[in-house]
Structure 1
């Protein structure tokens, strides 16, 4: 009899759902990008109800048409039918895709859901969907609100749930000139983050990466596969993207813009050293970037550029990429003083590298239709020093006034007394002292260019080329919103601090999975205690085996665990090795301080409370070595006849009378039982131990992997003894012994 095979679960049925909403009069939030929309909470409830009804109808049709014979192949038990129905009622298609229709104009677009947080009866559309449905953007909407155009608030949007097939291919056509970037990875990232569907004849606007920030590059979706539906789903599918080449007119325009940029080319930047200034040029709209990798960590770092119109942005390697206008740790925008980084700053103490970006803040861009060249680049001289310079203002205050001089009440300069009257007549007539108390003196008629900020203590002077007041207000007192989250900052400095510290979308390299990921929001405030980002706290919860003790330890606790091992390692006492200088083993528990192998021939079970019998056995062994020798070709024992003959040059043979006189002082009871406090012993060993002794001596003369002082001979002997039984040859023994020493031994300088 054939075995009955379980029937696979049927696919989810088609979701039949549609509702009509009013267009929300509020602008879309910054997080609503791509083809996403917001629906009210009631829409989710109706979607679940529609999914339940569709599932019930689908299951009823499949069960009524199937056989009720339990022996049938397509038989489904009542319990399994009920289980499938309950499971289908709780499921929605993934991803949810919709057809969105503007009932006023008849325009159609395709969308995915962001969340169910809109007001009841309203739908919030992204700017991409607004453009696709011929709806006004935010600026047009505000203008039409001023004209009391009621049609805006009567816009009716129909949202219908549909099943869109998974896409396999999309062909894009560039609509603008200047097509120079490598767009494939940019498109992949942009589509993955912002889009659920792609519709034919829609226009994608991708932000440019270089030369013209703030402008978008546009692509037309020319063709999609499978064809016939007009749209495809790009979630959980392998999508092949093909970009058509530029036509002849676009290629000529791209070449013309490239030639224009060559007239204002910036320097390439690169590596910079302490007290090694770098000269270069920087054009508007570009950054020149430098790296500082080595410096004296006990001294402050001073970074300066004499040119006031060149701004300095500095960050460390904790920030991905180079510092940008809205993402930096230290910055200088006013051109007055250098950036001073103190050695006790916690940010610099753990940094491996400093990254420096230079820019001209007041940027101007070339119009793609303009024939005018770019403005000439700005020259700069970047210097990084670690010499503390005293401020010029402090020098002037500390300078002593000459006895025959006095201070002018108008310009506050030191003037000789004999010419004070002439100077004041000229000074009060031609110079004006700033009434706000900043001490600045101006030529009469130019005081209108001097400004004081009404919100802070900043002041400056406008020039024909640069409006420093507008720049200060833009940087210090203009609200800015983070492009990655909903945080709103009151100044550029607050925004930069947010993006480099607490922004949940700040990119970090996870110290556990080593991937570039967002650090996520610190809701439990654990980062301040542990120093781990929320992602690292979650990722570090995985476990692994300690390479020293093989215990199972969480990754985030491994650093503390290894520090405990390091404390245990440093607290260990020096190993006690065999008293025999030719041996390479640790000692055993006996009176002579020998290892068990060297002490074996001397052992006797006879009662010997005075140790005289043991002394005679040691004396006999010594005399046997000196008078007869061990006969081993590898022996190098100086207290052996064979070893003395093997040495280079050979040593003379010792006669019996001299041998007896030589051995007598070495075998006294006090000398033998003194252990390590007495003289060493010289007994012959086998070839293996002799080789281990040579390897241990070689290890004691080498340094560790960090180039620090190596290990004492006692630690090297123990390491070779531990790994000798696992090693394959001498080279393997050396490598494994070095690894053991790195883990467990104490270095000479610790």
Structure 2
């Protein structure tokens, strides 16, 4: 029995050893095959690169030989117009074909054409310059040479991905560009006016950017530029037909970027780096000097790229970039309506607001102030005093709502004259950042706004309250007219005086005691039943009962609109649980499982991104990470 066991064990060990040897041999064959494939591919690329260089050199020589014939063709088309003066010196391929395109367009439009020697050959390129340019293009494109001058057409969409014509796809695919990963292009503005040898200004030198490619569906001879690329290449309205030089390049992956907002307000956005990250997902490249437009709800912020590493132009695809957002220039003022001015507790600020405009402030309640308020039974008082000749409204919200307005706020006051809002800790914790909106309701109004912490007994914090007794005196009797308790010894005299000078409002639920001369000025709204003075009724009807139009198409009154925009509007801003960005709520997710999870349309798409599990390293979708941890790792 032992002999048979030893025999079986030795046989098993021998078979295992043979399997390991076969596996090693297979891996070695695969490794050699891969190395051979790499060598063959490199040899093919070298051969293709050599053939392209030979073809370009032959084309240059052919161009030199047939230069007179080609120029004679354009001179014959220019009969009846001014003569076309062209020198016989050699020029680069780029300058020659650019001049031919311009000459042909001019002849078609039947306008006179005069091209001087400097305009066509001022660049000073000769044959060896063309060879040098070809070598530079091959180096920039990592062995791929693609260059074209196309007519720029404004397009739609976000990010920096352009649309090229199908002919560009054919040329790039023939050179093997599709096998080298994402394609990047250097875009520069072509100047058609002025001598070619003139020195470009600093502003013109900056009109160069980079982009990725979205698709190859643009009409032949054109390139469709999204707004981001168009605004960086043509900050001013282009004159005539805008031409763009498109050149294939390879870009390194970015590691560092320094950005600066063009104005104030961007840093006030909660988790503004998450907003920036979400916006940059639409981009393939970044170039130093470019301006990036960041959308946040209905607002737009412009950020300028100050510095990039490891190069002045980098790729942002599949890479982690360290981003620094520096403050705006100190020369930036507070004139923008959507800028939060800092306001300190205990200090007053004065200002001037125009009719129909908002002035915004921000203040913070830290843990120390909140604990004082809670321990001393106090509250925060926001006071707005308006000058004569105008009227204002006061709106307050807690972040992440940055700019409270008539549609979206948590607290508001519409009293005529001075306004006071009380923020009490009974309803919610007061820790956090707040925004205040001062709205010019009528005319241009001077105002003063202040924030203070008050005790609920009416005194300021740390101020000794005055001694008073609120105890009801013994033997008091209730007045039948004003319902106040009066000492019994004077009740008869009080009732006689009270019934002669005071009246009680008969409106249901009001029962307010008024002087007879004030009773005529005391009115109630027919819609909501609230009590106001006569001069306040017009403003009340306009603010509370005038129909308001939401951007989603709903028409509601003020209080219903505030509730709608805070809970059910598809355009309201919510915090994505996966990326942390403030995005529009949108509609419900199209996937039934995501709807059961309570995910919005954005969260359904954003949560489909994968991330490695902290425990097992497996790539799991973000929206299924919690289920994965519970089902696989038994983590709650």
Q: Which has the larger radius of gyration?
A: 1
Larger RCO of the pair (alpha carbons < 8 Å, separation 6+): 2
TM superposition score normalised by structure 2: 0.38
TM superposition score normalised by structure 1: 0.33
Structure in which a larger fraction of residues adopt strand: 2
